[in-house]
Chain A
Amino acid sequence: MATRLLQEIEASLNELNNIILGKEQQVRLALTCILASGHLLLEDLPGMGKTTLAHALSKVLGLDYKRIQFTSDLLPADLIGASVFDATASTFSFHRGPIFSSIFLADELNRATPKAQSALLEAMEEGQVSVDGETHVLPQPFFVIATQNPQSQSGTFPLPESQLDRFMFRLSLGYPDPSVERALLKGGQGRSALNNVQQILNTESLQQIQRLIPQIKVSDTLLDYVQRLIAQTRQDELCQLGLSPRGAIALVTSAQCWALLQGRSHVMPEDVQAVFVAVAGHRIVGKKETQGDQLARHILHSVDAVGNRAPV
Chain B
Amino acid sequence: MFNKGFTTNFNITYSAMMWLLVAQLVVMAPLLFYLPIWIFPVLLFSAGWRMRVMQGHQEQPQKILKTIIAGVGIAGLFFSGMPMVSLDMMASLLMLGFAYKALEVVEKRDALVVILTGFLLIGVLFIYSQSMLVALYGAFALMILTGALIALQHDGAIQIDNSHKSTRALLNRIIPNLKLSTLMLLLCLPLMLMFFIVVPRFAPLWSVALSGGGHAKTGISDSMTPGDIANLSQSDGLAFTVKFMGERPQQNELYWRGIVMQHFDGKTWTQSSESFEPETIKRKLRTDVQAIRNRLVKKGYGREYEIIYEKTAQPWLFALTPVVNIKGDALYGSDYTLMARADLLEPKMLSLTSYPDAIRDEYLDEKTRQRSLQLPKGGNPQTRNLVKRLLLQSSTKMDYITRVMSRFKQQNYYYTLRPGLLGDFNTIDEFLINNKKGFCAHYAGSFVFMMREAGIPARVVTGYQGGKWNEQGQFLSVHQYDAHAWTEVWLKGKGWVRFDPTAMVAPSRIEKNLELAVGPEGGFLENKIFSMKKYSWLNKLQSKMDSAQYAWRRFVLGYDRNSQSAFLKRVFGELSLQKIAMIVSGFFIGIIMLWSLLLGLGRKPQREAEEHQLYRKFCQHLEKYGVNKKLSQSPTEFSQYAASQLPSLAKDIEVFTQYYSQLCYNPSPAETTSEKNSITVLRDLLNKIKKGKFSESSGSF
Contacts and interface: CB of A to CB of B under 8 A. Distances in A.
Nearest to B666: A266
A265 interface: yes
B631 A222 contact: no
A309 B608 contact: yes
B208 interface: no
B606 to A, nearest CB: 7
A306 interface: yes
Contacts of A5: none
B670 to A, nearest CB: 14
Interface stretch (B93-101, B267-275, B632-640): B632-640
Contact of B665 (A240, A268, A300, A310): A268
A312 to B, nearest CB: 11
Contacts of B608: 307-309
A273 B633 CA distance: 9
A160 B612 CA distance: 41
B616 interface: yes
Interface in A295-311: 300-310
Given A221-B665, A266-B666, A306 B612 contact: yes
Contacts of A300: 632
A20 B636 CA distance: 29
Contact of B634 (A217, A219, A269, A302): A269
A218 B371 CA distance: 108
Contacts of A308: 608-609, 612
B667 interface: yes
A312 B461 CA distance: 80
Contact of A301 (B606, B612, B631, B637): B631
Given A234-B1, A310-B606, A305 B635 contact: yes
A235 interface: yes
Contact of B636 (A234, A235, A270, A301): A270
Nearest to B637: A270
A305 B606 contact: no
Interface in A223-240: 234-235, 240
Contacts of A217: 665-666
B250 to A, nearest CB: 78
Nearest to B667: A219
B18 interface: no
A304 B631 contact: yes
Contacts of A267: 665
A270 B634 contact: yes
A273 B638 CA distance: 14
A233 B667 CA distance: 28
B635 A269 contact: yes
Interface string A86-128: 0000000000000000000000000000000000000000000
A85 to B, nearest CB: 48
Contacts of B634: 268-270, 273, 305-306
B664 A219 contact: yes
B648 to A, nearest CB: 24
B52 to A, nearest CB: 43
Contact of B666 (A219, A301, A307, A310): A219
A266 B662 CA distance: 9
Nearest to A264: B666
Interface in A278-304: 300-304
B666 A265 contact: yes
B654 to A, nearest CB: 15
Contacts of A273: 632, 634
Contacts of B664: 219, 221-222, 306
B4 interface: yes
Nearest to B630: A301
B615 interface: yes
Q: Give the interface size class of chain A.
A: 20 to 34
B334 interface: no
B1 A235 contact: yes
B666 A305 contact: no
B616 A307 contact: yes
B674 to A, nearest CB: 14
Contacts of A302: 631-632
Contacts of B631: 301-305
Contacts of B665: 217, 219, 221-222, 266-269
Most buried by A among B2, B630, B632, B661: B632
B632 A303 contact: yes
Nearest to B605: A309
B643 to A, nearest CB: 16
Contacts of A219: 664-667
Contacts of B2: 234
A266 B637 CA distance: 16
Interface string B481-506: 00000000000000000000000000
A300 B612 CA distance: 20
Interface string B144-184: 00000000000000000000000000000000000000000
Contacts of B606: 309-310
Nearest to B663: A221
Interface string A191-209: 0000000000000000000
A232 B109 CA distance: 35
A208 B661 CA distance: 27
A265 B667 CA distance: 11
A17 to B, nearest CB: 23
A267 B667 CA distance: 11
Nearest to A310: B606
Nearest to B606: A310
A57 to B, nearest CB: 28
A258 to B, nearest CB: 13
A185 B364 CA distance: 140
Given A234-B1, A240-B4, A306 B635 contact: yes
A309 B616 CA distance: 12
Nearest to A270: B634
A302 B608 CA distance: 19
B31 to A, nearest CB: 49
Interface string B50-88: 000000000000000000000000000000000000000
Nearest to B669: A217
29 contacts: A219-B666, A221-B612, A221-B664, A234-B1, A234-B2, A235-B1, A265-B666, A266-B665, A267-B665, A268-B636, A269-B635, A269-B665, A273-B632, A273-B634, A300-B632, A301-B630, A301-B632, A302-B631, A303-B631, A306-B612, A306-B615, A306-B616, A306-B635, A306-B664, A307-B612, A307-B616, A308-B609, A308-B612, A309-B606
Given A303-B631, A308-B609, A308-B612, 5 more contacts: A266-B666, A269-B635, A300-B632, A305-B633, A307-B612
Interface of A: 217, 219, 221-222, 234-235, 240, 265-270, 273, 300-310
Interface of B: 1-2, 4, 606, 608-609, 612, 615-616, 630-637, 661, 664-667
6 nearest interchain CB pairs?
A269-B634, A266-B666, A221-B664, A307-B612, A270-B634, A301-B632
